[in-house]
Structure 1
Amino acid sequence: MNPELLISTRTRKTPFSSRVAACGAKAYTVYNHMLLPAVFLSLEEDYWHLCEAVQVWDVSCQRQIEITGKDSQKLVQLMTPRDLSQAEYGQCFYAPLCDENGGMINDPIIIKHSEDHWWLSIADTDVMLWAMGLATGFSLDVQVSEVEIWPLAVQGPKAEELITRVFGEEIRKIRFFHSRKMNYDGNEFLVARSGWSKQGGFEIYVNDAELGVQLWDELFSKGVDLNVRAGCPNLIERVESGLLSFGGDMGYDNTPFECGLDQYVSLEADIESLSIDALRTRPVKTRL
């Protein structure tokens, strides 16, 4: 008999959990204390469909750590060795977060809303607690919280056509790793051209659970001819694409250099980063 995963407050559901179950999710994992579907048809069938059509992913587990206040940029910069001084509003930055020894803590997408408002769209570690500890230890004037945002990813070669049918032609103007606020039924969702696959697509940062479920249903109703299906990050596709998974392929004892993230470490920049001095002197091991 296969063991079951018992759902409790430790394994949080999402606004889309009922839709995911109705679409036939066969397996789940737990990511940031939240359910993340892992397989629908099979690993191989899900892979080929992702590469050929379009999928809608419930990636609500990609939690948003919100940092606000007059020292918010200082705190975010302290957490990463990547220089954020030239960050533009709405720009998405992939950035390693590192401790004082240069060890990896997480590898989120950082989104700048304004000088004093940032989101960290995190991988699977408790970044909020670390950020709160740094804020207290460095006496920074910030507020750190996990906000109620539930991302949906639309991924695959037909993703742009599908999402255009919902949000309109303006969506095509969004550049890679940039975002724009888009109107949806009287509400604004942040939409970014990004996602954890190399098949192309978008991530929609849903801030209203009820409208999010409506959006899920609309994506499916308008994507019938595109062969839209529910999907999830696919192990085959992400390994093939060279996308590392924090906690799986890399961990706390690895540096960004060992993970092939050299381009995201600003060794020559004049920045106040917790890890930058250690990374400038720490010996580099063989890459993963």
Structure 2
Amino acid sequence: MSRLQTPLFSIYEQHNGKTIDFGGWDLPVQFTSIKEEHEVVRTKAGLFDVSHMGEIEVKGQEALPFLQKMLTNDVSKLKDMACQYNAMCYENGGTVDDLVLYKREDNHYLLVVNASNIEKDYEWLKQHATEKVEVINVSNQYAQIAVQGPLAESITQKLTKEDLSTITFFKFREGVVVANKDVLISRTGYTGEDGFEIYCRPDDAISLWNALLDAGKEEGIQPCGLGARDTLRFEARLPLYGQELSRDISPIEAGIGFAVKVDKKEDFLGKVVLKQQKEDGPERKLVGIEMIDKGIPRTDYEVFKDGEKIGFVTTGTQSPTLKKNVGLAIIDKKFQAVDTVVEVQVRKRRLKAKVVKTPFYKR
């Protein structure tokens, strides 16, 4: 089966993009090198094609009560033109997806969901929708470009009359003209850095991408791939669905309890289990680990204590910022204290590691 391509696919080659299969999409893993792209986002600015992300519109008279039932955060607290991080759960507390909710106005919302979950999320929402709620998969109507890094604002500002400094964290604006294109722009991202995510018409994506690269030439902006996006989000301890979150891993276990409001008066899917986990503490939880012995903790490697299996690694790498071999792991609550020494099964050997504080990086 042929892989899906974003509207920006044709320009990857111009920048020596090396593509991989990512959830059925043909996407660039890197353009120069993961380390170089990681560094440029931490110090200057990087440009990412994130058009594979899904967009689902929810609108209608009962949109708010519907989203209060479907999502873990308190949607009633969300103001117009603001975003909210959310999880969508099964009754058993497992995660359907994590997402960002955009409130356009009363009864009109946009959900930005993970690429590998678009169909599943859409079906899940449709399945629970009432007559007075419309759920529409509008993913094909958008391309999405992320400009991330400390210089993201100054570079993007060159292309618009809108005062970008007035769009604060997790706020957005629609109908903004950037490089002569009509866009939705939000101060959001998945790197742990300042920056924007820009939603445009698919036909405008290449022109907008080139304009941003030109505008940031002097500052040293570079195209960045999925590899750097992963190491950047990992250092900032932002979860990736399928690794830190899954059907079997709840938002509380994954450490995103701040997005689970068990005190909101409405019942939501998974509330009973999540409330219990929040009050009693989950049996297992996501922690940071740093290798003591030489080795890298990779996804799905098993974690042991005194010969007993106590969990597994969700993500691990050599942190480009810290220059240390670190990982995130879901382990038994008895062993979560910082400096607890554990062992990671790296191929045929069990290597020592210790529990450390996270995030690994904070700007």
* AA aligned opposite 1:218: A
Question: Does residue 14 of structure 2 align to residue 37 of structure 1?
Answer: no
Is residue 194–residue 201 contact of structure 1 (8 Å, CA) maintained in 2? yes
Kindly provide the CA deviation profile for residues 132-153 of structure 1, in whole angstroms up to 9, marking residues without a partner as x.
Answer: 1111xxx342222221111110
Structure 1 residue 167 displacement after superposition:
1.6
Is residue 20–residue 58 contact of structure 1 (8 Å, CA) maintained in 2? no
Matches within 5 A, 1:31-180: 31=23, 33-123=24-114, 124-125=116-117, 126-135=120-129, 139-147=130-138, 148-168=141-161, 170-180=163-173
Q: Which has the larger radius of gyration?
A: 2
The verdict on how the C-alpha distance between 1:169 and 1:131 changes in structure 2, with shifts beyond 3 A counting, is: closer
Question: Does residue 16 of structure 2 align to residue 24 of structure 1?
Answer: yes
Distance 1:52 1:90 in 2: 29
* AA aligned opposite 1:276: K
Give 2:220's aligned residue.
227
Give 1:260's aligned residue.
255
Kindly provide the CA deviation profile for residues 103-148 of structure 1, in whole angstroms up to 9, marking residues without a partner as x.
Answer: 111110010112221111112312111111111xxx3422222211
Question: Does residue 181 of structure 2 align to residue 193 of structure 1?
Answer: no
Give the number of aligned pairs. 275
Structure 1 residue 226 displacement after superposition:
1.1
Distance 2:199 2:271 in 1: 31
Distance 2:177 2:166 in 1: 15
* CA RMSD, Structure 1 to Structure 2 (Å): 1.8
Distance 1:158 1:23 in 2: 21
Give 2:330's aligned residue.
none
Kindly provide the CA deviation profile for residues 144-175 of structure 1, in whole angstroms up to 9, marking residues without a partner as x.
Answer: 22211111100111111111011235111100
Structure 1 residue 281 displacement after superposition:
3.0
Distance 1:187 1:23 in 2: 23
Structure 1 residue 18 displacement after superposition:
1.0
Structure 1 range deviating more: 157-166 or 65-74: 65-74
Distance 1:239 1:209 in 2: 29
* AA aligned opposite 1:287: K
Give 1:285's aligned residue.
283
Distance 2:166 2:264 in 1: 31
* AA aligned opposite 2:148: Q
Higher relative contact order, chain-length normalized (CA < 8 Å, sep 6+):
1
Is residue 70–residue 269 contact of structure 2 (8 Å, CA) maintained in 1? yes
Structure 1 residue 186 displacement after superposition:
6.1
- Secondary structure of 2:242's counterpart equals coil
Kindly provide the CA deviation profile for residues 3-38 of structure 1, in whole angstroms up to 9, marking residues without a partner as x.
Answer: xxx7x2xx321111112232111132324x433322
Is residue 63–residue 150 contact of structure 1 (8 Å, CA) maintained in 2? no
The verdict on how the C-alpha distance between 1:186 and 1:230 changes in structure 2, with shifts beyond 3 A counting, is: closer
Distance 2:181 2:142 in 1: 14
Give 1:217's aligned residue.
210
Is residue 66–residue 144 contact of structure 1 (8 Å, CA) maintained in 2? yes
Structure 1 residue 187 displacement after superposition:
5.1
The verdict on how the C-alpha distance between 1:50 and 1:20 changes in structure 2, with shifts beyond 3 A counting, is: same
Kindly provide the CA deviation profile for residues 172-208 of structure 1, in whole angstroms up to 9, marking residues without a partner as x.
Answer: 11000000121246653110001110121100011x2
What is the TM-score normalised by the length of structure 1?
0.89
Gaps of 5+ in 1: 1-5
What is the TM-score normalised by the length of structure 2?
0.72
* AA aligned opposite 1:171: L
Structure 1 range deviating more: 16-25 or 59-68: 16-25
Distance 2:57 2:155 in 1: 29
